[in-house]
Chain A
């Protein structure tokens, strides 16, 4: 049995979580104060995921704030950054608009409006 300690990143409470593992199998999760914390701990020891927030260059030279519309594998975060940085957004852009599709299981969407 191995133990892993971690801080939950789901909400600002930042609960201290403890996961007990036997090999790959999760035996118990403690320290969480909500269901989402348990799901986070489970994912964190099996396939850790992160939402990526960044900026994308626009065709007028400005930058636009963007994010992945769902978490992607943590190991792909820097590859995701490379894809965002290789792309240029065509203005105008509305908040929520998809700018890049199929990026490690997510879409890159705009998180702000930008006129031409």
Chain B
């Protein structure tokens, strides 16, 4: 038996582990599939991480090291090269690695921190051949930054998410020619700073409202046909243009990696692709918490660390609670959950796509995170209870690529039974 098992040793898992330790939990185990801690940060060698959390600009590996160092100094045990096979609602974990074979761990609490993965070509329905030379942007990033291979010389990138933009610069620096970045939407999903420093700095064209409509080449990619799309995102035939290239990178979205959560019967949010959670990041399964990109895809790792710290602190609280309830140890699996004070569900108006958390079970000071569905200028976000606005904030702009947040005081939640978030366009 282990008090707290954390699945995933990336930024979320490490931050959750440190927070749980700081809240008095000593019996912690991190399970990591890779041979090293750090998760995706290991291959994010560019800078821009840590401005919120540490007040300085770090590269991905440097940011990861800040946490790995703490995990090591605190002596928190880590099993590397270990793949979790299943998680049960009773918090029984089955995992495997080369040394121990298949083994099980009973956990007092579990934190899910498995991160996300990239949407593949198969999810896009691009017609054409299936030659070599088509990579997800993150795969190309791993090849260049961790393995030291440049996967191609003449590159087209589909999708202007941050990883696509970062890879446009990275491939250029290493001597490749990036001919275009095509974006289906009329705006980029990436941060404005990345358009500036990754594309504009190198005169790489960003083709908005464009997509790849055909892929050419037998063994190796020889070129792609791109076209402008209309307002319904349908390609316009007469705008077809052939671009010779040997490499196509796809940066078309990230999907939380929730196979284990689904096995555990955890209730999911269809919009985020992650679990439904309360203010403590507890899922519908008592004692199972979720944080980081497995919960919802973040733009900034700093916010992943913050969210994971909430999950770590809450898991510590849960462990203390079940210890008091059941004497020492956990005894039977079916311990009661910490009693809920309230059950406030949070709904949105569609202009706001989702919130995390999606419900509030205890009145405490919280921060609501949310994303909007479109690009807006000059808006007011209303927090509505029982038809009345109880709190509102103005924003000069809001965009789908940039996560927003609103802090809420516990006192504001007094007597509230449901919350709704609405976006008003002030024009």
Contact = CB atoms under 8 A, between A and B. Distances in A.
Nearest to B147: A63
Nearest to A82: B175
B126 interface: no
Given A50-B201, A77-B173, A113 B45 contact: no
B146 interface: yes
Interface stretch (B179-187, B191-199, B319-327): B191-199
B345 interface: no
Nearest to B49: A12
Given A63-B146, A67-B59, A111-B61, A55 B45 contact: yes
B201 A111 contact: no
Give the size range of B's interface with the partner. Answer: 20 to 34
B48 interface: yes
A38 B117 CA distance: 37
Nearest to A74: B201
A51 interface: yes
Interface in B12-66: 42, 45-48, 51, 57, 59-62, 65
A95 B47 contact: no
A83 B57 CA distance: 23
A62 B191 contact: no
Interface in A22-71: 50-55, 57, 61-63, 65, 67
Given A11-B51, A12-B191, A53-B47, A65 B196 contact: no
Given A12-B51, A12-B191, A112 B65 contact: yes
A41 to B, nearest CB: 12
Q: Give the most central of A51, A52, A53, A77: most B CB within 10 Å.
A: A53
A65 B173 contact: no
A74 B201 CA distance: 9
A14 B173 contact: no
Given A7-B192, A50-B197, A111 B51 contact: no
Contacts of A50: 197, 201
B197 A65 contact: no
A53 B59 contact: yes
A38 to B, nearest CB: 16
A65 B45 contact: yes
B45 A53 contact: yes
Contact of B65 (A10, A52, A57, A113): A113
A110 B69 CA distance: 16
Contacts of B46: 53
Given A12-B48, A54-B45, A62-B148, A6 B196 contact: yes
B65 A14 contact: no
B299 interface: yes
The 9 closest A-B pairs by CB, nearest first: A14-B192, A63-B148, A112-B61, A65-B45, A7-B196, A9-B193, A14-B193, A111-B59, A7-B192
Given A53-B46, A77-B173, A81-B173, 6 more contacts: A9-B196, A11-B48, A12-B299, A53-B45, A111-B59, A111-B62
